[in-house]
Chains A and B, each alone.
Chain A
Amino acid sequence: MKTKYAPLMAALTAAALFTGTACSNSGSSSEQTTDPNEKVSLTYWTWAPNMDKVAAAWNAKNPNIQVTVNKQDGGDPAVTKLLTAIKAGSGAPDIMQAEYQKIPTLVSADALADIAADAGSLKDKFPAGAWNGVTLGSDAVYGVPQDSGPLMFFYRADVFEKNGLSAPKTWDEYATAAEKIHKANPKQYLGTFSATDAGLFTGLAQQAGASWWGVQGDAWSVAIDEPNTQKVAAYWGGLVEKGVIDNKPMYTPEWNAALNDGTQVGWVSAVWAPGVLEGSAKDTKGKWKAAAMPQWDAAAPATGAWGGSATSVTTQSKHKKQAAQFVSWLNSDPEAVKLLATEASVYPASNDAASVLTSPPAFFADQADYYAIAAEASKQMKPFTYGPNVNVAYSAFNDAFGKAAESKKASAFTESLTTMQKTTVDDLKNAGFNVAG
């Protein structure tokens, strides 16, 4: 019998593969039996450093659920690999680190499993903004928040002192400081507008009160070209046009050199900045200070996020329950949260983060209140909804703002938002999403 049907089976399999209906997952997995003594091994894709050491602590206590960490290059390549594996029907890990802005994309590709049954009770352990990032405002739970990246402002205290400045409390003060510093030394800039870092610009728009995507009934709405974001774009475009801040991308050898030789004397960044500065600006150790973000309205302090990710279970996992157990432990157990902070060098999303982070990061050793500032910033995070085509919006940002930054014209910055809005909406419509408005 077996051999008789073999060719037919092969043909059917080939046909299934060919027509791309490789949605093998959901059906079979829900029937999985959960024998408590069953030994399972899980794979975990992450790019946070030393995550294998964190997993080792779990493995030591859970001999039946062994987690193997598979180090990834970073957020984007990992997502590309995961989406390819989902499309192919096999090859995805059980557990996956997923940046908040990628979660709608991954959910839309049916890559992330709903673990509400196993992790839904963790809601109160996380700030509302982070939790919203993993539920997308629904009853489903597509992961547990792992780390967050509240925006903060970093500056060279020595340069500020020399120019008689203190840390800017508002964006107006930031602009004044930028002008003063650049006038005093034409080689020095308080910052740069980087067209390669869409994530930072998104965070700045978030701080100003924008939320680029939204759900209205059963349709997506897109609001990129809107007053709050326009205000942010016009502000940075104005600074670039005046020439008081630089227009070159961040994360280039040149930018590293500029941080290290004191020509870039400030950085609007996020809580994880010390790790970057330690690598790029090692000669300036001890000269930097961290501060809360400059504000649009000092009376109503707000901040946005740059980076941050959740840990999710993939739809291809054969052991979703066990995977969800590990994911819950990793991000909410006090011991694990401490390991995340100390070994993996992330700023845990958990409300317990403040209690495990007592001493400041090495690069800011003199600043005892470092994590107090970060905790305050976490609380002031504005809500922001990501949509299913963040990548499209981000690559439109790269192209449009790259041209704008090169042209050094404030008007080009605000026009770029129109391009981003159009590209993003067109893409959604073309794919068949319901789009409101």
Chain B
Amino acid sequence: MTPSASTTARRPVGRRAGTPYAFLAPAMILFVAFLAAPIVYAAYLSLRKVKVSGLGLGAKSRTEIWAGLDNYARSLTDPDFLPSVGRIGLYGLIVVPTMLGLALLFALLLDANRTRESVGKFARISIFLPYAVPAVVGSLLWGFLYLPRVSPITDLFEAVGITAPELLSRDLTLWAVANIAVWGGTGFNMIVIYTALRAVPLSLYESARIDGASEVAIAWRIKIPIVTPSLIMTFVFSLIATLQVFAEPMTLRPLANTISTTWTPLMKVYRDAFTRNDLYAAAATSVIIALATFILSFGFLKLVGRRAFNQED
């Protein structure tokens, strides 16, 4: 754009140099107040600790002191921390492929059926609906289904004469929690992938059909490569959600012996902060989780970078 002489004359340079900053201000203030400052404060807290003197009763018996990397050392050597990391690793191996596989399958099925709009709409909404249910509510619902005495699932098993599996027992708890995540997350991922599929021009499929490609071949050779960026994005989201799994096991915990207070890393953060009243250890673990999330997501994006963003290549 080449500004004409008249417009430059009407806009004196300098007088409104602050204008862009004024427009930026609300976003910047919110960012600093609610994101940057708390992060910096958490990082600061993670390097501090409280030192109690004597019996620790009464005023002035607690002083906050510099802790260096003490809290980090304690976090990483906590006997409960590594098992919780291993647990979410396994959980991720179950949840992410299952959830994304189902989401892709549903999206492809819905897309194959573009003509029958009403059926598609109904299916789409019913698959998406669990995503709209808050995780705590969903976990409570599933919790009721998992408890043998109040669960209709048990009744079904007994009706056909099989002993129902104890879903909250030691071997199955991880699967029971993973099931809630898959149930709640598939819909969202399905919508993302489906939206990407809808953007593909129909002419592409027509030419494929003319070349004699079957529906399966179209899905495999055209549709899936085209939605790869969406798959990568949903994968990163799922990865982050896995690292942060909290609401489901937290809600199920009082119902079972098998979920400890440090079942996932975030539950350990919660326990340290609110049960043990040790904000400093909680801050250190939070920083570790944040760094791990950062490294994993950006590492993955770097790995697949070209495919994710330059699909035309």
Contact = CB atoms under 8 A, between A and B. Distances in A.
B148 interface: yes
Interface in B73-118: 74, 80
Contact of A23 (B56, B59, B147, B256): B59
A251 B256 CA distance: 11
Interface stretch (B1-9, B47-55, B130-138): B47-55
Interface in A361-409: 388-389, 391-392, 394-395, 398-399, 402-403, 405-406
B275 A391 contact: yes
A142 B223 CA distance: 70
Given A388-B55, A392-B275, 13 more contacts: A218-B55, A249-B256, A254-B150, A263-B149, A315-B59, A388-B56, A399-B80, A403-B260, A430-B74, A432-B50, A432-B51, A432-B52, A434-B55
A427 interface: yes
A251 B253 CA distance: 12
- Give me the 4 closest cross-chain CB pairs, A-B, nearest first: A402-B257, A254-B147, A399-B260, A432-B52
A406 B277 contact: no
Given A215-B55, A388-B56, A395 B276 contact: yes
Interface stretch (A92-100, A102-110, A321-329): A102-110
14 contacts: A18-B41, A107-B57, A108-B56, A110-B60, A136-B57, A140-B58, A220-B55, A249-B257, A253-B150, A253-B255, A257-B149, A257-B150, A403-B260, A432-B50
Interface residues of B, number: 43
Interface string A253-277: 1100110010100000000000000
A70 interface: no
A389 B272 CA distance: 12
B254 A249 contact: yes
Nearest to B281: A430
Interface string B137-174: 00000011001111000000000000000000110000
B277 A105 contact: yes
A254 B61 CA distance: 45
A20 interface: yes
A80 interface: yes
A406 B59 contact: no
B228 interface: no
A258 B44 CA distance: 50
B258 interface: yes
A89 to B, nearest CB: 14
Interface of B: 41, 44, 48, 50-62, 64, 74, 80, 143-144, 147-150, 169-170, 254-262, 271, 274-279
Nearest to A394: B275
Contact of B64 (A20, A107, A254, A263): A20
A19 B61 contact: no
B61 A108 contact: yes
Given A108-B56, A431-B52, A195 B257 contact: yes
Contact of A109 (B41, B258, B277): B277
A18 B48 CA distance: 12
Given A19-B64, A109-B62, A254-B150, A406 B170 contact: yes
Contacts of A195: 257
Contacts of A251: 254
A19 B51 CA distance: 14
B255 A399 contact: no
Given A26-B59, A258-B149, A392 B51 contact: no
Contacts of B271: 395
A248 interface: yes
A248 B257 contact: yes
Contacts of A19: 64
A391 B277 CA distance: 9
Given A219-B55, A257-B149, A431 B50 contact: yes
A398 B260 contact: yes
Interface in A2-32: 18-21, 23, 25-26
Contacts of A434: 54-55
Given A252-B254, A257-B149, A218 B275 contact: no
Nearest to A388: B56
Contact of A196 (B51, B54, B150, B254): B254
B142 to A, nearest CB: 12
B177 to A, nearest CB: 15
A138 interface: yes
A109 B277 CA distance: 10
B39 to A, nearest CB: 15
A87 B280 CA distance: 13
Nearest to B169: A406
Nearest to A401: B257
A303 interface: no
B61 to A, nearest CB: 7
A19 to B, nearest CB: 7
Identify the interface centre among B53, B271, B277: most chain A CB within 10 Å of its CB. B277
B257 A403 contact: yes
B6 to A, nearest CB: 45
Q: Could you say which of A80, A218, A398 has the most chain B C-beta atoms within 10 Å of its C-beta? A: A398
A85 interface: no
A23 B60 CA distance: 8
Contacts of B260: 398-399, 402-403
A434 B44 CA distance: 27
Contacts of B57: 104, 107-108, 136, 138, 388
Contacts of B259: 402
